[in-house]
Amino acid sequence: MKRPTIADIARRAGVTKSTVSFALNDRPGVSAATRDRILDIAREMGWQPSRVARALSGGRAGVLGLVVDRPARTLGIEPFFMQLISGIEGELAARDVALLLQMAEDGQTQVAAYRRWWAERRVDGVFLVDLRVDDERIGLLAELGLPAIVIGGPDGLGGLPGVWNDETEAVRSVVEYLAALGHRRIARVAGPPELRHTTARGAAFEAAAGALGLTTLSASTDYTGEEGARATRRLLAAPEPPTAIVYDNDVMALAGLGVAGEMGVPVPGRLSIVAWDDSVLCRLVHPPLTAVGVDIASYGAEVARRLLDLVAGHPVESGCHAAPVLTPRGSTGPAPSGS
Amino acid sequence: MKRPTIADIARRAGVTKSTVSFALNDRPGVSAATRDRILDIAREMGWQPSRVARALSGGRAGVLGLVVDRPARTLGIEPFFMQLISGIEGELAARDVALLLQMAEDGQTQVAAYRRWWAERRVDGVFLVDLRVDDERIGLLAELGLPAIVIGGPDGLGGLPGVWNDETEAVRSVVEYLAALGHRRIARVAGPPELRHTTARGAAFEAAAGALGLTTLSASTDYTGEEGARATRRLLAAPEPPTAIVYDNDVMALAGLGVAGEMGVPVPGRLSIVAWDDSVLCRLVHPPLTAVGVDIASYGAEVARRLLDLVAGHPVESGCHAAPVLTPRGSTGPAPSGS
DNA sequence: GGGAAGAGCAAAACCGGTTTAGTGAATCGG
DNA sequence: CCGATTCACTAAACCGGTTTTGCTCTTCCC
C-alpha cells in the first residue's frame, strides 16, 4: 500500500505543492474554495503528513526521549517507571508526539544516548530522571541546547526547568505518624546515595526525627528487592532492632515484609513498615502496606506538558507538582510495649 | 551548538556531498586517500548522520514500535513488560535503532496507533504483543505491509512471523507437580479470555488435569491484582475450595497470597500457590512463590533480533523461543490430608 | 596509437514536506 | 484613471542525506 504525498494531492487538485501545504496547515494565502477542495481530496486519499519530511525541513521531529538508567532487574518490578511513562504517554499521544525509550545500564551509556539522540536529530526534547549528585547530563544538555526537563528537584537543576514533589513535608508527616504510635527507634532503608533524591529525603528524615528526639538507623541500597531484604535482615538482627522501617520504594518494603515473615517478626506487632511510592503492590500483600506517595501518572502528565511547552518555545519555569500523601494501612501499628 | 552536515565535510575536504556520502558508507568509487581524509574530517568535526534525512531518502527510520495495551494500573506493576522492553532495548541499542513506545487503553486506539505510525513513516517495523482471538491488527499490518513480528503464538499469526514459548509442556509439568503433591482439586486464575495466550494455556491445563483425573476450577480476570484477589476470595469461600491455585501472572499470585493471609488460610499448609511469569516479585514475599516462566529479557532480545532481520529484508520464520521452567519454592507443598 | 574499460569524482535528482520570493489579476484609494 | 496594495497562487530553494547519471582522466590491450 502506498502512502499519498502532498504532490499527489496537488496533482489531483490542479495546484502546486505549496498551495496544498498552505491549505493543510491552515495558513493564509489560499481561497476558501481551494482550501476545502484540497482538504476533501486529502481526506479522501487518506493523507497523513510524513513526520520524517517535516522534521527534516526544520520542523520538529515530534518525538521526546526518556532514558532510564536503573538496572533491568529493578525496573522490571518497580511500578514507578511504568506509571510515569503511562502518564507521559497519555499527554503525548493526544498531540501525536511519540516517546522514545532507552534503558541504559550506567551513566556513561546514558550520556551517550542523549548525545546520540541529539546528533541524529531524533528527539525534540528529553526527560531527565534520577538526578545524581554531580550530574554530568545537566551540563551536556545545556551545552547541546537540547530542551530538557528534570523530573525531581528542586536543587541541582543547573538552569534546567524541573518538576518535583515536595517531600520534606511528607517525610515529616511520616516520622510524626510513627512517633505518635510510640516508635522511638526508626530506620530508613534508602535508595542509592548518589541520587539527589535520596540525599534530600535522608536529610529531611534526620531533621524530622531529630526534632522529635527519635533514634534513627539507616541503610543504603540500590533499590532492588534483594538489597532491601538484606538491609532488613541486618537491621532486625541487631541487638536493638528498630520498631519501624521506612523504605525508599515499594519493592523494598515488600521485600522487608517478606523478611519479617521469614524471621517470624510479626507485622505490625513487632515491626511497622512504611513504603514510599504507594502503588497497587502495597494493597495486594497481607498486611497491606502503609505507604506515602503521589499519583505518579499525573506527575508524568504534568512533566510531559511542561516539556511540550518548552519544545514549543514557551518559557517554562520549575515548579512543585504535589505533596505526597500518607495512607495508613495494616503494616503500621503501635510500637511494641517491651521496647 | 550546531551539528555538522555532510555538506560541511565536503567543503572542508574539497569534494562534493556525494563523495562524502560514499566514503562514509564504505561504498566503492572513492580512492583510499580521499576516503581516509573524509573520515578524518568527519571524526574531527564530530559528524553523526541525521536519521531524519536518511529516513526521508528512502532509507530506514531506524525505529521500531511497540504498542502495549494493558491498562496502566496493571502495567505499572507487572514486571513482564519492563523485562520484555529491557530485552528488546538491549538488542536495539547495540545497532543504534530506537524504540518507540505507546500505551493504548483499548484495541481501537492500538490499531490507530499502528496505522498512524505507518502513515507518518515513523517506524520500520512493529512488535505485536497480547494477541487476541480475532485480532484485527494482523490484517491491518498485512494490508499496510508494515514489517511485524508477533510475540506469542504459534497459532493465529495470519502469515506474520512469531516467536513464542512452548507452554503446553510447562502446563503439564505444573499439573503433574501438583498431582504428585497429592492435590486433587486445582484451580486456575486466568487472564482475559480474549487473549489467545489465555485460551491456549487454559486448554493445555484442562487436558493435563483431565489426563490425571483431577478436578479443575477456573476464573477469568483482567490480569490485575484486584481481580486476582477477588477470584481467590471466591474460590476459597466455596464449599469445596481448591487445594492449589495456578495464577496466570505473578501479580495475581501475589494478591492470592495476600488474600490467603487475610483469610487465615496457611500457605502452603492448606493452599498451594503457583505463579506463571517468574520474576523477582516471587522471591521477595514470604513464603516465596513457586513459579514457572522463562527469561523474559532474552525472549525480548530474540524477538528484537528477528524483527531487525525482517526489516533488513531477510526472510524470518516463526519459531519457539524456550520452554518455561518450573521453579518450586515455598508456596507449594503436600495437599492437606483432610481433603 | 586508438578504442574500450574502469577508476574517481562532480552534478543533479530525489525523498516529502516547509518556506520564501515572485507573478498576474483583482481591488482600492485619490 | 492610474499607481499601489492585496489576494491567490506558482516557482523554486531548502532541510541532509542517498542514489543515479555523467564526465574526465588513466590504464590496458591488440
Q: Report domain extents, chain A.
A: 6-47, 63-165+296-322, 167-293
> What does the pLDDT average to over A157-174?
92
> What does the pLDDT average to over B176-191?
97
Give the span between the Cα atoms of A18 and A23, in whole angstroms: 9
Query: Is residue B99 scored above 70 in pLDDT?
Result: yes
Shortest CA to C1' contact from B57: nucleotide: C15
Using the Cβ of B326 and the Cβ atoms of chain A, whether some distance falls under 8 Å is answered with: no
Residue A17, pLDDT score = 93
**Residues near A313 by beta carbon (within 8 Å), at least 6 away in sequence:** none
Shortest CA to C1' contact from A58: nucleotide: D15
Cis status of the peptide bond prior to A268, with omega within 30 of 0: yes
Q: Answer whether B101 sits within 8 Å of A101, measured CB to CB.
A: yes
Using the Cβ of A295 and the Cβ atoms of chain B, whether some distance falls under 8 Å is answered with: no
A289: DSSP letter: P
pLDDT classification of B153: cutoffs 50, 70, 90? confident
Angle at B235 between CA A331 and CA B265, to 5 degrees: 45
Residue B156, pLDDT score = 73
Give the span between the Cα atoms of A279 and A79, in whole angstroms: 7
Residues 111-130, chain A: which have Cβ within 8 Å of B? 113, 116-122
Nearest to B174 by CA among B244, B251, B233, B243: B244
Average pLDDT, chain B: 92
Q: Which residue is nearest to nucleotide C10 (CA to C1')?
A: B16
Residue B188, pLDDT score = 98
- Which of residues 4-43 of A have CB within 7 Å of strand D? 14-19, 22, 28-31, 33-35
Residue A77, pLDDT score = 63
Using the Cβ of A317 and the Cβ atoms of chain B, whether some distance falls under 8 Å is answered with: no
Give the span between the Cα atoms of A258 and B284, in whole angstroms: 6
Residue A72, pLDDT score = 61
Using the Cβ of A6 and the Cβ atoms of chain B, whether some distance falls under 8 Å is answered with: no
Helix axes B17-24 and B32-45, enclosed angle (nearest 10): 90
Residue B76, pLDDT score = 57
Q: Answer whether B121 sits within 8 Å of A3, measured CB to CB.
A: yes
Integer angstrom CA distances of residue A143 from A113, A121, A309, B216: 15, 15, 20, 64
Query: Is residue B33 scored above 70 in pLDDT?
Result: yes
Query: Picking from A19-23, A317-321, B131-135, B335-339, which range would have the lowest pLDDT averaged per residue?
Result: B335-339
**Residues near A227 by beta carbon (within 8 Å), at least 6 away in sequence:** A221, A252
A23 CA vs C25 C1’ separation (Å): 21
Query: Is residue A222 scored above 50 in pLDDT?
Result: yes
Residue A54, pLDDT score = 92
**Lateral strand order in the sheet of B244-247:** B215-220, B185-190, B244-247, B272-276, B290-293, B325-327
Helix (H, G, I), strand (E, B) or coil at A98: strand
Q: Which CATH architecture has domain B6-47?
A: Orthogonal Bundle (1.10)
Q: Answer whether A77 sits within 8 Å of B261, measured CB to CB.
A: no
Digit-coded pLDDT (tens) for A240-283? 999 999 999 999 999 999 999 999 999 999 999 999 989 889 99
> What does the pLDDT average to over A170-177?
97
Using the Cβ of B67 and the Cβ atoms of chain A, whether some distance falls under 8 Å is answered with: no
Cell of A133: 549528585
Using the Cβ of B34 and the Cβ atoms of chain A, whether some distance falls under 8 Å is answered with: no
- Give B94: exposed, middle or buried? Use CB within 10 Å, 0-12, 13-18, 19+: exposed
Digit-coded pLDDT (tens) for B195-235? 998 999 999 999 999 999 999 999 999 888 999 999 999 99
pLDDT classification of B339: cutoffs 50, 70, 90? very low
pLDDT classification of A79: cutoffs 50, 70, 90? confident
Q: Are strands B63-68 and A319-322 parallel, antiparallel or unpaired?
A: unpaired
pLDDT classification of B125: cutoffs 50, 70, 90? very high
A34 CA vs C29 C1’ separation (Å): 29
List the beta bridge partners of residue A68.
Answer: A103
Residue A143, pLDDT score = 87
* DSSP characters over A222-268: -S-HHHHHHHHHHHHHSSS--SEEEESSHHHHHHHHHHHHHHT--TT
Q: Which residue is nearest to nucleotide C13 (CA to C1')?
A: B57
pLDDT classification of A127: cutoffs 50, 70, 90? very high
Using the Cβ of B284 and the Cβ atoms of chain A, whether some distance falls under 8 Å is answered with: yes
Residue B78, pLDDT score = 73
Nearest to A258 among B52, B81, B285 (CB): B285
B26 CA vs C4 C1’ separation (Å): 28
Average pLDDT, chain A: 92
Contact A223, A277 (CB under 8 A): no
Strands (E), chain A: 63-68, 98-103, 125-129, 148-151, 162-165, 185-190, 215-220, 244-247, 272-276, 290-293, 319-322, 325-327
> What does the pLDDT average to over A226-252?
96
Most confident stretch, A125-134, A148-157, B319-328:
B319-328
> What does the pLDDT average to over B116-144?
91
B10 CA vs C10 C1’ separation (Å): 12
Most confident stretch, A287-301, B100-114, B127-141:
A287-301
Does the fold of domain A167-293 match that of domain A63-165+296-322?
yes
If one compares A321 and A337, the residue with the highest pLDDT of the two is: A321
Residues 177-216, chain A: which have Cβ within 8 Å of B? none
Query: Is residue A339 scored above 50 in pLDDT?
Result: no
Right CATH for B63-165+296-322 from 3.40.50.300, 1.10.260.40, 3.50.50.60, 3.40.50.2300? 3.40.50.2300
Query: Picking from A107-111, A188-192, A247-251, B216-220, which range would have the lowest pLDDT averaged per residue?
Result: A107-111
The number of beta carbons lying within 10 Å of the beta carbon of residue A154 is 15
Integer angstrom CA distances of residue A308 from A90, A303, B204: 13, 9, 48
A30 CA vs C30 C1’ separation (Å): 30
pLDDT classification of A71: cutoffs 50, 70, 90? low
Integer angstrom CA distances of residue B50 from A116, A201, B1, B53, B61: 10, 41, 15, 5, 10
Give the minimum alpha-carbon distance from B212 to chain A in angstroms, rounded to a whole number. 33
> What does the pLDDT average to over B19-44?
92
Residues 131-160, chain B: which have Cβ within 8 Å of A? 143-145
Using the Cβ of A55 and the Cβ atoms of chain B, whether some distance falls under 8 Å is answered with: yes
Nearest to A284 among B104, B225, B296 (CB): B225
Strands (E), chain B: 63-68, 98-103, 125-129, 148-151, 162-165, 185-190, 215-220, 244-247, 272-276, 290-293, 319-322, 325-327
Residue A313, pLDDT score = 87
List the beta bridge partners of residue A103.
Answer: A68
Helix (H, G, I), strand (E, B) or coil at B98: strand
> What does the pLDDT average to over B293-308?
95
B70: DSSP letter: S
Residue A58, pLDDT score = 78
Protein CB footprint (7 Å) on chain D nucleotides: 7-20
Q: What is the pTM of this model?
A: 0.92
Right CATH for A167-293 from 3.30.360.10, 3.40.50.720, 3.40.50.740, 3.40.50.2300? 3.40.50.2300
Give the span between the Cα atoms of A314 and A139, in whole angstroms: 21
Is strand D less than 7 A from the beta carbon of B102? no
Angle at B66 between CA B64 and CA B71, to 5 degrees: 165
Residue A287 with chain B: CB contacts under 8 Å: 261
Give the minimum alpha-carbon distance from B202 to chain A in angstroms, rounded to a whole number. 25
> What does the pLDDT average to over B52-73?
85
Give the span between the Cα atoms of B124 and B144, in whole angstroms: 12
- pLDDT more than 90, % of chain B: 75
Is strand C less than 7 A from the beta carbon of A28? no
Cis status of the peptide bond prior to B154, with omega within 30 of 0: yes
Q: Are strands A215-220 and A272-276 parallel, antiparallel or unpaired?
A: unpaired
